[in-house]
Structure 1
Amino acid sequence: MVNSGSAAVVMTLSRSVVDQSRRVDTDTDRPSELPQQRHNRGGVIDPLSGIGLDGEDTVGGRSDMSDEQPTRIGVRIAELRKIHGATQRGLSQRANVSYSLLRKVECGERPASHSFIAAIARALSVNVTDITEQPYHARNASPASEQAGVPALRQALVEGDDPELDTPPRDVDDLREAVAQIKEWDRRTKHAEAVRALPDVLRHLHRASRDLPTAERPPIHELLSAAYFYAVGSLYRLGHLDLAHLADERARASAARGDDPLRTAVAEWQHALILLFDGSYPAGLRAIDRASALTDLAPAQPATQAVRGALHLRAAILAARTGNTDLAESHLAEADTLTAPGQEEANFYATKFSAPNVDIHRVAVPVELADGTTAVSRAASVQLPATTAPSRSGHYWIDLSRGWLLHGDRRRALEALHNARRIAPQLTRYHPQVHETVQTLAANDARSTNSLAHFAAWCGIHR
C-alpha cells in the first residue's frame, strides 16, 4: 500500500511540461526482427469466421449494419482541407504536424493517430467527429443493431431530473442491483445491453433522489452518478460523443451531491476520457489533478489505491498524446507501484485497474507516441490472464494492431484485430482506430485477402 499523501506527489507530474505545441511527426517506419509474441488468449482467429454481437457466428461475417459508408479519414481530411481553402503545407503548419505525414495520411499510406486527428480538427475549427464521422451505422439502424437503444437513452438524458414515469417507483435495492449488472456489462464491453437498460434506471434513480428524505439522498446521488458514468462509457464506445458529453456532466454533478470522494474522483477520471477524445490534453491532465486531490479525502483502503492507479494510467495516455514520453513513463511507473492482488476481480469503481492493465498501458503509450517497434517489443513479454476484463484485453489487441501496422507488419496487424474482435466485438466494431487501421491496410494492399475483406465488411467498411 502507499499512503494517501503520495497522490499529491504523483499528480504534480501532470502539471509539468505538457507541451501542446510539440510537433506531431511520426513519419518513420522502423521494421526490425523481434521476438515472437506469446499468445495465451487463444492465438490467431480463423480469418474467415464470422463473429457477431456477442461472438456468435454470423452468415458471411456480416452483422446487421446500415448502408452508411464512412469515408477513410485521410480522404475526409483532404475534403475538409479543400472546403476551408487550405493547402497541405498550410494545414500542416497551422496544425503543427509534419507535412510529409499529412500527405501520407491523405493518400492512405499512413494511419492517422488520434492526436493527429485532434490537431487537424483544431486547425480547421471542426469537431473530431467531423473527421471520424462517428457514430458509425447509427442512422437507419435496425431494431437488432447495437445502436437501436440509443434514441431511448437520448430521451432519458434530455428529460434529466424531471423524468416521465408510467410505472410505480422501483425499489432502491432493485436499482442498486440493476446498476451492478450494468457495471458488469461495461467490463465485458456489452454496451448495447447497457444502453437498453439505462433509460429506466436513470429515470427511477432521479425519481428516488426527489422522493427520499434529504438525509437519505447522498447514496442515491452516488448511484445516479455511477449510472451516468456507465452511460458515458457506452455512448463513447458506440460513437455518440455529444450524448456522452451530456452524460459526463450529469455524472460529475450527481457525484458532487454525494458523500463519496472516490465517486467524485472517478467522475473526473471519466471526464478526462472525454477530454482525451476531444484533444484537450492539458485540460484532461488538470481533471486528473482534481481527481487525485479528491483521493486524499478518502480513507486508506484498496479502493483508494486502485483509483489512484487508474488516474496514473489515464494520465500516461494523456501525456503520450502530447508527445511527452518522460511524463507518460513516469505515470506508468507510479501506476505500477499501486498494483495489488485481487484488483482485477474487485474492479473498484469500474476502473479495471490491475497489474495486467498496467501492462496493457505499457504497450499503448508507445503506440500513442507512434513508436510501433517499442510497442510490439513490450508486447512480446505480455501475457494477459484469463480474468482480464474483456474491455481491457480487447483494447490491448486494438492497440497492438496499431503497433504492428506502425512497425510494418500488416499480417500481424490484422491478426491482432481478429483477436480484438473475438474478445470484445462491440468495442472493436465501433472503435475509430480499428476503422482507420482497416482502411489503411486496404488502401495499401492491392490484393486484399479474404480475411481483410471479411473483417472490413463486419465493421461496415466496404471497398
Structure 2
Amino acid sequence: MLEEAEKIGRRVRRARLRLGMTQADFAAALGKTQGWVSKMERGHIELDRVGLLNLVASELHVHPNDLIGRPYNSAPSENQWQVSAAAIMRELRRYDLAPVFDGTPRPAARLWQETTRLHRLRDAAANVAVLQVLPDLLREARALAEVSTGYEREEAYAVYAVCCKFAHTAAHALGHPELVAMTCERAAWSARLSGDPVLPAVADWMRVWDMWATADWDDSLALSDKAIRSVQQDYDRGEPLAVRAWGTLQLRAAVSAARAGRKSEAKDRIEHARTAAHRMTETVGPPVYDRHSLTFSPGNVQIHAISVALEMHEQREALSLDRRTGREVIEALPNSRRGHHHMDLARAWLWDGNRDRALGELEKAESIAPQLVRNHPIARSTLRSIVYAERASTREKLRRMSDRFHLDG
C-alpha cells in the first residue's frame, strides 16, 4: 500500500518534469507550498480528495487515472470486466451502422423491463455484472430503433441512452476513461432522438461528472445550470421525473461548487436539492418508475451534504451532519450510495485523528460494496494513510522504549 503512494508521487514528478515545470511553479498553480509538493512527490502526502487529485492532474495535463495507476492491477479473474467493456465500446463505435442482430428485437416495453435488472445491479454496486449485461441490450435497442417508427423508435433510443448511462457509471467506478467518454457522447446523441424531455438533461448530468476529471469547475456549474433550465418548467409543474432530475443536477452543482472553493454556493445548492427531495415526498398517487435511474432521495441529499463538507475539508461539519442523520435514512439507500457514504466517514474520522473509527467505517464500506470500494482511489488513499500512521506510531513507541532500555548505549 505504501509503495502505491510512492508510485503516485513518482508519476506526478515525471509528468511535472515532462512539462519543464519546477516544484515552485507547480506549487503556485495548486495554491500549495513547495514543501507540500516535495512531500507529495515522495509519497508522504496523499491526494485524499477527488477534487485535489483532479486539480493536480489538470495542471499536469494528464488524466487522473494516469497518476494513480487505474485500473488497478489485480488477479486475472478480476480483470475480466475489461472484456465486457471492449464489447460495449465496439457497439458504441458502430452506432450509426446497421446493427448486427439476429431475429426480431423485442418491443420497447420489454427492453425497459430488462433495465430493471440493471437498476438492481447498479444499486448493489455490482459494476462488473452491469457491464456484462450491456452489450446485448445496447445491440437490441439499436436494432429496434432501426426497424421501428414513431413513439416506439423514440423509446428504443431512450433505452439506448439509459444503457449508456449504466455503462458510464460502471466505467467510472472501475476506471475506464475511454468508455466513460464514449458513453457520454452516445447518451447525448440518443437522448436527442428519444423524445424524452428529461433525458438530454440526464446526459448533461453525465457530462458534468466528466468535467470533474479536468477540474473544469466553472464549466461544470454552467452545464449544470443549462440542464436545470431545460427541465425547469416541468419541475415547476411538479412532474416527478423532472423533479428528480432537477434535484440530482443541484447535487452535481453542489459538488462542483465545493471543489471550486465556493462554500456558500455549495450549501445553497444542497438546500435546493433538499427542497426538490421534499417535493418528491409530497407527490400523491402511485410512484413513478425512475426510468432514468437517478438515485435521488432525502437520504441521498444528506450524504451529499456530508461529502460536500469533506470536499471543503470541513470534517467536523461532516461528522456533525452524520450524527444528526437518522440511521433509517442511510439504511434506505442502495448499497452503492451507502458504500460511498461510509468511505466518506472513514476519511472524516481519519482527518479528525481517530484512526480506529476511520478503519471501522472503511471496513463497513467494503462489506457493503466491496467492488466499488476496492476500486476507489479515495478508499485506497484513506487506507494507505491509516497504514502509514500506524507504522509511524509503532516506530515512535519502539524508539521511546528503546531509549528507556538504553539499547543504544
For normalisation by structure 1, the TM-score amounts to: 0.76
Match of 1:110 in 2: 45
Which residue among 214, 235, 239 is the counterpart of 1:301?
239
1:419 equivalent to 2:364? Answer: yes
Partner of residue 330 from structure 1, selected from 265, 268, 286: 268
Deviation of the 1:402 alpha carbon: 1.6
Q: Per-residue displacement from partner, 1:198-228 (whole Å, max 9, x unpaired)?
A: 0011111111111112553212111111111
**Structure 1's 383 and 100: CA in aligned 2 closer, same or farther, altered over 3 A?**
farther
Is 1:289 aligned to residue 225 of structure 2?
A: yes
Aligned residue in 1 for 2:96: 161
SS of residue paired to 2:292? helix
Alignment deviations for residues 235-289 of structure 1 (CA, whole Å, 9 cap, x no partner)? 1111001211110110011101122221111111121111123322112112211
Check the 8 A contact 1:393/1:423 in 2, yes or no.
yes
Task: Say whether the 8 Å CA contact 2:299–2:332 is kept in structure 1.
Answer: no
321, 338, 343: which is aligned to 1:393?
Answer: 338
Residue among 159, 173, 176 paired with 1:240: 176
2:297 equivalent among 335, 354, 369: 354
Shift of 1:115: 2.1
1:370 aligned partner: 313
2:351 maps to what in 1?
Answer: 406
Q: By percentage of residues, which structure has more helix? A: 2
Aligned to 1:23: none
Which of 206, 230, 237 aligns to 1:270? It is: 206
Q: Does the C-alpha gap of structure 1 residues 397 and 147 become closer, same or farther in structure 2, counting only changes over 3 Å?
A: farther
The code of the aligned residue for 2:263 comes to T
**C-alpha distance in structure 1 between counterparts of 2:206 and 2:136, whole Å:** 22
Q: Retained in 2: the 8 A contact 1:317–1:328?
A: yes
Q: Deviations over 1:347-376 (max 9, x none)?
A: 562221111111101110111112222222
Tell which deviates more after alignment, 381-390 or 281-290. 381-390
The verdict on how the C-alpha distance between 1:120 and 1:144 changes in structure 2, with shifts beyond 3 A counting, is closer
1:445 alignment counterpart: 390
Which of the numbers 81, 85, 104 marks the counterpart of 1:150? 85
> Which residue type is aligned with residue 104 of structure 2?
P
Partners of 2:77 and 2:93 in 1: how far apart?
23
Name 2:398's counterpart in structure 1. Answer: none
Query: Mean Cα displacement is larger for which, 316-325 or 304-313?
Result: 304-313
User: Do 1:371 and 1:406's aligned partners in 2 also have CA atoms closer than 8 Å?
Assistant: no
Give 1:148 deviation, angstroms.
4.6
- Separation in 2 of the partners of 1:414 and 1:346? 37
* Identity, % of aligned positions: 26
Q: Structure 2: where are the runs of 5+ without partners? A: 395-409
Distance verdict in 2 for CA 1:105–1:405, change over 3 Å:
farther
* Matched-pair contact (CA < 8 Å) for 1:72–1:439: no
Give the match for residue 182 of structure 1. 118
**Are the aligned partners of 1:70 and 1:133 in contact in 2 as well (CA < 8 Å)?**
no
**Correspondence for 1:49:** none
Distance 1:445 1:148, change over 3 A: farther
Q: Which residue of 2 aligns with 1:99?
A: 34
CA deviation vs aligned residue, 1:367-416 (integer Å, no higher than 9, x gap)? 11122222222222223433211111111111111222222222222111
Q: Counterpart of 1:359 in structure 2: which amino acid?
A: Q
Q: What is the CA–CA distance in structure 1 between the aligned matches of 2:337 and 2:176, rounded to whole Å?
A: 20
Segments of 4+ in structure 1 off by > 6 A? 342-345
Structure 1 residue identity aligned to 2:138: L
Hey, what does 2:378 align to over in structure 1?
433
1:252 counterpart letter in structure 2 = A
Task: Specify the alignment match of 1:318 in structure 2.
Answer: 256
**Greater shift in the superposed pair: 268-277 or 372-381:** 372-381
C-alpha distance in 2 between matches for 1:357 and 1:208? 35
CA shift in 2, pair 1:159/1:69, >3 Å: farther
**CA 1:333/1:319 → structure 2, altered by over 3 Å: closer, same or farther?**
same
Moved more, 340-349 or 259-268: 340-349
Residues of 2 paired with 1:322 and 1:369: CA distance?
A: 9
Q: Which amino acid aligns with 1:292?
A: I
Instruction: Give the secondary-structure state (helix, strand or coil) at the position aligned to 1:349.
Output: coil
CA deviation string 1:130-152 (max 9, x = no partner):
112222237x7337855452222
Contact 2:247–2:277 (8 Å) recurs in 1: yes
User: Are 2:17 and 1:74 equivalent residues in the alignment?
Assistant: no
| Counterparts in 2 of 1:422 and 1:284: CA distance versus 1, 3 Å | same
Local SS of the residue matching 1:323: coil
Query: In the TM superposition, what is the alpha-carbon distance from 1:88 to its structure 2 partner?
Result: 2.3
Superposed displacement of residue 103, structure 1: 3.6
